[in-house]
Amino acid sequence: MSVSTDRGINEASGEPGRASASRRDWLGLIVLAFAVLLIAVDATVLDLALPFISADLEPSSTQLLWIIDVYSFVLAGLLITMGTLGDRVGRRRLLLFGAAGFGIASLIAAWAVSPEMLIAARVLQGISGATLMPATLGLIRAIFVDPRQRTLAIGVWSAMAGGGAAAGPLIGGWLLEHFWWGSVFLVNIPVMLMLIGIGPVLIPESKNPNPGRFDLTSAALSMSTMLPLVYAVKESVVHGISPVLIAVGLAGVASGVVFVRRQRVMKDPMIDLGLFAKPAFSTAVLTNLLSVFALAGVLFFGSQYLQLVLGKTALEAGVLMLPGMLMSAVTALAAAWMVRYWATSHVLGGGLFVGGVGAAMLFALRVDSGPNMFVIGFGLVGAGVGIALTLASDLVVSAVEPERAGAASAVSETAYELGIALGVAVLGSVVMAIFRSGLDTSLLAPDRVAPAQGTLGAAIAEAQHLPETASTVFLESAQTAFVAGMHVAAVATAAILFVTAILVLRLLRSRQDERAAVAPSSTTNE
């Protein structure tokens, strides 16, 4: 095997005079990785507990949606603020505060006695999670100064994020079989206690020695940008596009415009907009967003396909999706090895291409297909996204000096959260639009048409109230229409990943571009 002369990240302007990571640093990475694992688990573990929560706390439909979504709303809204704050007050300090807050919030959620109490606990979890994610990636940037070691460390970080998302439903399923629904929150406590107890010993403090003034106005503008945007996108999936949601989304866009203009004139901006002029930084942020967009969309319609078309239980569907999530974790680690032999642009573009092939394979799914084709296709999507997340995150944090790593990490994490929201909203809307247009409602009473067109699950519920022959015909119509929508979404996902792969190869094609883009303008020992 020939060794490429263009090694991208690994030969990109290392930081001279800086020592390789010590054993203590690698042990500190393990602690940080477990924190990421728990945050990822918490994002998916709640799904299986919702029926139990509904039976116990009896929330309204609106309250149930807030229990699910308020965590991600708050998390997305605060990421940039918390990333910048960590650069100023210390990323380890903020990490430990976040761990304590996350643990307290988990205790409150576990023993919540009302929907309002559980929603408040989820808000606190979102605030704490926003401190943890950029702090962990920022600390990795500061601790692992050797480019090759940093790529491997970020691979571990990405693998734990992917592995946690895959493990969430399985852990939740086991806990719910043996304990009450609050146990899905208590699983966080041991890891958070370990982080608080061992973190100060293994993880060095890291911050910007000359951070400048923290601008509260910019912090407020970043939140008033992200919260309305994520809210409008997510609510449009559930309730459809409405004038109110359009107004909310436009308010977020307007706030974002003001935020950007303010950053351009500030001496110490919350986000250095000049970073987006660097090919690797802007390409990496876009790659992060679009790769997660694809993964989230496939997860959205894939889980429904397995359960509502193929008739699998929630746990069986989780097991069938597990190989894809595990492939994401494996390739996240393998990416650090691959860039030793091939250019970063080639590895990143190749990963996106593999993901596109996997998404295209989902076009072959049928109502009477077995699960094998889905497992293979989703496995390739997961493999490609795993590579993309590791290398995109590495490019983002390598583009800045260590003292600004928190803010850069927050940009990457914000792209990740937006990718999830947009993937579900856009691809979910495509699937549901085709589903509604293809659904044969001639067998339904006029007042039952609208409910049946809401979701595939609602259509299946309506089919149960029809005579046997009519029920069979209507059920087949509903499943066929949904699969037709999946086909369009799968082709769109594949196209997005293929186009992103081409952009990566074009924008990062030269060794000089990669070096210049990832090399910080100055180096500061912390």
**Domains of the chain as residue ranges with CATH:** 22-151+167-215+266-270 (1.20.1250.20), 273-521 (1.20.1250.20)
Return phi, psi of residue 442, to 5°.
-65, -20
Residues 6+ apart with CB under 8 A from 416: 288, 289, 292, 389
Report pLDDT for 187: 79
Q: Based on C-alpha coordinates, what's the Rg of the chain?
A: 23
Report pLDDT for 14: 41
Single-letter code of the amino acid located at 270: M
Tens-digit pLDDT profile for residues 32-58: 888 787 777 776 667 667 667 877 887
Which of 185-189, 301-305, 341-345, 396-400 shows the lowest per-residue confidence on average (mean pLDDT)?
396-400
Angle at alpha carbon of residue 16, lines to 11 and 21, rounded to 5°: 80
pLDDT > 70 in the chain, percent? 86
Single-letter code of the amino acid located at 305: Y
Alpha helices by DSSP H, 399-424: 405-422
Report pLDDT for 291: 86
The CA distance from 119 to 233, in Å, is 20
Name the token pair of 293: 């967009």
Report pLDDT for 267: 76
Pairwise pLDDT comparison (437 vs 211), residue with the higher score: 437
Following DSSP, what letter does each residue of 162-203 receive, concatenated? HHHHHHHHHHHHHHHHHS-TTHHHHTHHHHHHHHHHHHHHHS
pTM attached to this predicted model? 0.76
The CA distance from 307 to 317, in Å, is 6
The CA distance from 142 to 161, in Å, is 20
Which of 116-120, 137-141, 205-209, 313-317 shows the lowest per-residue confidence on average (mean pLDDT)?
205-209
Tens-digit pLDDT profile for residues 395-423: 887 776 766 666 677 777 778 777 777 77
Q: Looking at the predicted structure, is the pLDDT value of residue 473 above 50?
A: yes
The CA distance from 48 to 168, in Å, is 9
Find, among 264, 479, 293, the residue nearest to 385 by Cα. 293
Q: Looking at the predicted structure, is the pLDDT value of residue 457 above 90?
A: no
Report pLDDT for 125: 87
Angle at alpha carbon of residue 113, lines to 112 and 117, rounded to 5°: 55
Place of tokens 């396909």: 305
Pairwise pLDDT comparison (128 vs 14), residue with the higher score: 128
Find, among 149, 93, 208, the residue nearest to 524 by Cα. 208
* Mean pLDDT for the chain overall: 78
User: What is the greatest pairwise CA distance in the chain?
Assistant: 78
Report pLDDT for 332: 86
119-133, 444-458, 501-515: which has the highest mean pLDDT?
A: 119-133
Pairwise pLDDT comparison (102 vs 470), residue with the higher score: 102
Place of tokens 């997510």: 234
Q: Looking at the predicted structure, is the pLDDT value of residue 89 above 80?
A: no
